[in-house]
Each structure stands twice: as C-alpha cells, then as structure tokens.
Amino acid sequence: MAVHYERTGPVAVVTIDRPERRNAVDLATAQRLQEAWRRFEDDGDALVGVLTGAGGTFSAGADLVAFDLVETAGGYLGGFRGQVGKPTIAAVTGYCVAGGLEMALWCDLRVAGEDAVFGCFERRWGVPLVDGGTQRLPRIVGLSRALDMILTGRPVDAAEAHRIGLVDRLVPAGDHLDAALALAGEIAAFPQDTVRSDREAVYGGLGLPLQEGIAVEAKLGREVLAVAARGAARFAAGEGRHGTGV
C-alpha cells in the first residue's frame, strides 16, 4: 500500500510510502491519498492530521515516469485543491519539491528537519503547478519570494525556508515526525469547536477587505459562544491560573 493511515491518539498520520520513487505520486497513490483525507474528515476521534513521507523523503511530487495522473475536482495529487475542516501539519524530511511542495503548502503548518529541501523543481521539466502552489505559496511567504521560487525552480534549504516563513518549526534531522506529533497533540488538547471556527475564519477572510473579514470572524465566533462560556466558567473555578495548563 503506497499510503498508510494510522491513528496516534487524537492524531491521524498519513504517510506516503513509495521510497523507491522518492514518494512521487502516481494515479494509485493519488487515489489512496484522497481516500485517506476523506477518512480523516469522517474520523470523529481524529482531531489533527499529519502528512509525511517514508524513507527519508517527503515527496518528489508527481511521478513523471508513470505520468498517469488525471485531473479530478480535487486536483491531480489527491484532493489537495480542496480543504478539510480540521488542522493539518506537514512533517517534512529530505526533498519536498514540485507537487510535494504543493502538498506541504496545503497543510496549515509545516515542521521540517534540518535536512529538508524545498523547491518548484517541476520548472526544469516544463510541468506547471496545478494543485494550489501558485496560490498558496504567495500567501505564506509573500509575492516576491514566491515568484523567486516559482520562476527559478531553485532549491531552498531548511534554514532559508524557516527564515522566510515557509517552515514553522525547524528541528534536527530525523526529529520531524516526533515534533509534528507533539505539535499536533498540543492543538488536539484545546477545545476543538473554537480551534476549527478560528481556523475557518482565517481562511474565510483571506482576500476579503478588512471589514468583510471581520464580519466572517464575528459570525463564526457567535456560533461557538457556548464553548467560550464553558471555558470562562472553568477559568472562574480556578483552572489555568498563573500560566498552569488546563
């Protein structure tokens, strides 16, 4: 099986396992990835998803040897034009390039080992970015830096990726998955209704004028006020004082 779905407590780990092809995605792998993310969405006990690759590589993107991917409503690589309703984290080691980079950009956060390499390597083969890369990369690193990566196809090492905001957590090589799981566990420990509504507000307000974005935030916030009331009651009863955990 080229894609594994495993649960670690409240965290679902989706692993691309084609190390002989540097975890490049062919049609069968794309179908398994789409199934995995549907399973994550439907799994009520899975609160945070982690995407990673086996064998020392995140993913080299589309498998240009098989070259059998077909376009679906969710894109070519396995649903990455769409979005899930729960937080996701990319745990990156080794090469995270071409479509692999697009998959990492799809995730909300990126944790990378110091051995990670990012880049739009499809540039050299005349393959376009078609699973959200041209839209997500500028939103994450800014227009100029995104264009630099997209137009030149140059490799970006982990230190630079962290400096420009492409990587959120930089860890020693080999620690990427453990660090991503720890981060996922932190997020999973919070009240999930407001985690998800605040996340939805961020994405829902992107590209809108400020006041329209604030209106999106206000609408979603009103829908979870009962959660806030319960949290306030817990605080009033003494939980979480002086920086202690809740």
Q: What is the pLDDT of residues 149-162, one digit of tens each?
A: 999 999 999 999 99
Position 243 pLDDT exceeds 70:
no
CATH 3.90.226.10 applies to domain 3-188:
yes
Distance CA(57)–CA(236), nearest Å, equals: 48
Q: What is the mean pLDDT of residues 221-229?
A: 86
Summarised one tens digit per residue, pLDDT across range 127-180 is 999 999 999 999 999 999 999 999 999 999 999 999 999 999 999 999 999 999
Q: What is the pLDDT of residues 189-202, one digit of tens each?
A: 999 999 999 999 99
* Band of pLDDT at residue 230, cut at 50, 70 and 90: confident
Predicted local distance difference test score (pLDDT) of residue 232: 76
Strands 117-119 and 156-157, by their bridges, are antiparallel
93 — phi, psi (to 5°)? -135, 150
How many H-runs (helices) and E-runs (strands) does the chain carry?
Answer: 9, 9
Q: Residue 236: pLDDT band by 50, 70, 90 thresholds?
A: confident
Task: Indicate the pTM of the whole model.
Answer: 0.95
Q: Give, as one character, the DSSP assignment of residue 121.
A: G
Kindly report, residue by residue over 2-48, the tens digit of the pLDDT.
999 999 999 999 999 999 999 999 999 999 999 999 999 999 999 99
pLDDT at 95 > cutoff 60 = yes
CB 13 within 8 A of CB 181: yes
Spatial distance between the Cα atoms of 189 and 206, rounded to a whole number of angstroms: 26
pLDDT of residue 244: 61
d(CA 139, CA 144): 11
Q: Is the pLDDT of residue 246 over 60?
A: no
Query: What are the boundaries of each domain within the chain?
Result: 3-188, 192-243
Split at pLDDT 50, 70, 90, the class of 118 is: very high
Which of 75, 65, 66 is CA-nearest to residue 129? 75
Distance between start and end Cα atoms, the chain? 40
| Element housing 63 (H / E) | none
Rounded CA gap, 138 and 150, in Å? 10
Q: Give the Cα-Cα-Cα angle 58, 188, 200 (nearest 5 degrees).
A: 85
Report residue 242's pLDDT band, with 50, 70 and 90 as the boundaries.
low
Sequence-separated (6 or more) residues with CB below 8 Å from residue 226: none
What does the alpha-carbon distance between residue 53 and residue 60 come to, in Å, rounded to a whole number? 10
